[in-house]
Amino acid sequence: MRFCGSTHFCLYSKARNFSNGIPFVRSVHLTIFACMESIRIETTEHPLFAQLWKLYNDSFPRVERRTLEPQKTALRSELYSLLAYTDEGKFVGLVGYWEFDSYVYIEHLCVDPSLRSGGYGSRIMKHLCGSTDKTVILEIEPVVDEPTARRLRFYEKLGFRTNHYRHTQHLYHEDDPRGFMLTVLSYPGTITQPQYDRFDRDLRSIVMKRD
């Protein structure tokens, strides 16, 4: 699936007023349109999977990601989608998400480190949120320092809201540490207690299923 977005630039240059010879600054406003493509990865044999899998493993600590066999299990689920994003044929990032009857859970989002601050994360999230009329849910680490605060601001600018439920991460591995707290964000508004309870059950019984 191809989707397009625009980036607005304001370029400044010095010019000279011909009537009095006094230099002044002139601004030129440019809008550059670029198209990205989302490609669904259905098996580990896909040509983009190796590159995607490396970025996935480099971007998330072990407690926040699957190993290969559980990932194959997720790929077999009709509820799960793994998308690779390309820009002019160049791989830029990935998203893994689960679509349930009343909400979409974005489990993983990452962009190639060399391309960060280029607007790709925002464009990918806007594409995902704009392509569904369901509630969109994701998790982030609690704000404890500037990087975690910056991550929260990123999602808030996209319209996500914080839910103040006590939420611990379900385990990807049996030997993962227990009690790792996470913050639940949702778009376009907060979720109710019953909605949160349903989300938490789905995480435990479906998303984190390893066989």
What single letter denotes the amino acid at residue 195? Answer: Q
Instruction: Flag whether pLDDT at 137 surpasses 90.
Output: yes
Instruction: Flag whether pLDDT at 18 surpasses 90.
Output: no
Instruction: Flag whether pLDDT at 11 surpasses 80.
Output: no
Distance CA 139, CA 135 (A): 14
Q: What is the predicted pLDDT for the residue at 118? A: 85
Instruction: Flag whether pLDDT at 10 surpasses 70.
Output: no
- Show the CA angle centred on residue 172, arms to residues 153 and 185, nearest 5°: 25
Distance CA 71, CA 24 (A): 58
Tens digit of each residue's pLDDT (9 = 90 or more) over 75-121: 999 999 999 999 999 999 999 999 999 999 999 999 999 988 789 99
Q: What is the predicted pLDDT for the residue at 24? A: 43
Distance CA 128, CA 132 (A): 7
Q: Which of 175, 164, 168, 165 is nearest to 204 (CA)?
A: 168
pTM comes to: 0.83
Least confident of 15-19, 136-140, 207-211: 15-19
How far is the CA of 208 from the CAs of 47, 66, 70, 203, in angstroms? 26, 9, 9, 6
Q: Which of 101, 96, 113, 16 is nearest to 49 (CA)?
A: 96
Instruction: Flag whether pLDDT at 51 surpasses 70.
Output: yes
Tens digit of each residue's pLDDT (9 = 90 or more) over 61-82: 999 999 999 999 999 999 999 9
Share of the chain above pLDDT 70, in %: 83
Tens digit of each residue's pLDDT (9 = 90 or more) over 182-206: 999 999 999 999 999 999 999 999 9
Q: What is the predicted pLDDT for the residue at 209? A: 79
Instruction: Flag whether pLDDT at 138 surpasses 60.
Output: yes
Q: What is the predicted pLDDT for the residue at 153? A: 97
Least confident of 5-9, 60-64, 132-136, 202-206: 5-9
